């Protein structure tokens, strides 16, 4: 009986030590979390990137220097919001006249969307759209840089759809982030935003 009690107390002691260590680690973890993201959101947002173009060749963001552009993340198996968004951007750009801003479509579904797929998709709208894909790592990296969320979800028919951030990101001639266009915003508002970055 006595040895049993000792063992029980030993277990209590071990549990207390483990609990203390966990608590200590956790509080340390919170304070040692990188602060840079919160302190400099603009600095951490965006930045240079390299993806793969519809021609299968590397596409560097340096090719966008000096020109305003609209960046949209989607996937080619998306029949509704993605074509609706791209069609709207093309239509509004036509209304503004001219060829600016550049419209870029980046896939969040690199498994199914290779260079050929994004190229075909970009050409659906009879207007210049830059279709971009990349390796899963490249896509994950770019998503992180631009704060884009995406997630594969079973579609109930043996395949999958991809939930994703549907906002269009706008960038001015200087490459600086210039706001977003949400799918819920009116055409008038969206057009005004596009006009501002091409001015």
Partner 1 sequence: MKSELVSLAALLLAACGGPAAAPNIAVRDAWARAVPQAKGSAAVYLTIANTGGTSDRLIGADTPVAAMTMIHETSLAGGVMRMRHAAAGLEVAAAAEIHLKPAGAHIMLMSLKAPLVEGGTIPMTLTFERSGQRNIAVAVTDPLAAGPPAKE
Q: Which residues bind partner 1 (CB under 8 A)?
A: 76-81, 83-84, 87-88, 90-91, 120-121, 123-127, 149, 153, 155-157, 159, 161, 163-167, 182-184
The nearer residue to partner 1, 34 or 158, going by C-beta atoms, is 158
> DSSP string spanning 36-82?
HHHH-HHHHSS---EEEETTSSEEEGGGGTTS-EEEEEE-TT--SHH
Q: Can you name the residues that pair with 104 across neighbouring β-strands?
A: 71, 130
The nearer residue to partner 1, 35 or 153, going by C-beta atoms, is 153
Closest separation in Å from C-beta 159 to partner 1: 8
Closest separation in Å from C-beta 164 to partner 1: 6
Question: What distance in Å separates the CA atoms of residue 102 and residue 106, rounded to the nearest whole number?
Answer: 13
The nearer residue to partner 1, 28 or 144, going by C-beta atoms, is 144
The SS3 of residue 104 is strand
Question: What distance in Å separates the CA atoms of residue 60 and residue 65, rounded to the nearest whole number?
Answer: 10
Closest separation in Å from C-beta 16 to partner 1: 42
Kind plus residue range of the DSSP H or E element containing 25: helix 2-32
The nearer residue to partner 1, 47 or 183, going by C-beta atoms, is 183
DSSP at 178: E
* Residue 101: closest CA among 75, 64, 132, 131: 64
Closest separation in Å from C-beta 92 to partner 1: 10
Closest separation in Å from C-beta 195 to partner 1: 19
The nearer residue to partner 1, 60 or 84, going by C-beta atoms, is 84
Whose structure tokens read 């028919």?
157
């Amino acid at each position: 009986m006595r040895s049993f009690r000792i063992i029980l107390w030993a277990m209590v002691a071990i549990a207390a030590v483990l609990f203390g260590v966990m608590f200590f680690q956790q509080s340390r973890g919170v304070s040692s979390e990188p602060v840079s993201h919160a302190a400099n959101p603009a600095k951490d947002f965006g930045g240079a990137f390299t993806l793969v173009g519809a021609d299968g060749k590397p596409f560097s963001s340096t090719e966008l220097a000096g020109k305003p552009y609209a960046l949209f993340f989607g996937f080619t198996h998306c029949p509704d919001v993605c074509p609706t968004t791209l069609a709207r951007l093309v239509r509004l750009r036509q209304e503004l006249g001219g060829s600016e801003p550049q419209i870029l479509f980046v896939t969040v579904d690199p498994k199914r969307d290779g260079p050929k797929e994004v190229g075909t998709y970009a050409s659906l709208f009879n207007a210049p759209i830059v279709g971009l894909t990349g390796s899963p790592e490249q896509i994950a990296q770019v998503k992180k840089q631009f704060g884009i969320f995406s997630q594969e979800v079973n579609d109930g028919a043996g395949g999958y759809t991809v939930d994703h951030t549907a906002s269009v990101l706008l960038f001015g001639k200087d490459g600086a982030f210039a706001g977003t266009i949400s799918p819920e915003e009116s055409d008038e508002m969206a057009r005004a935003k596009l006009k501002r970055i091409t001015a």
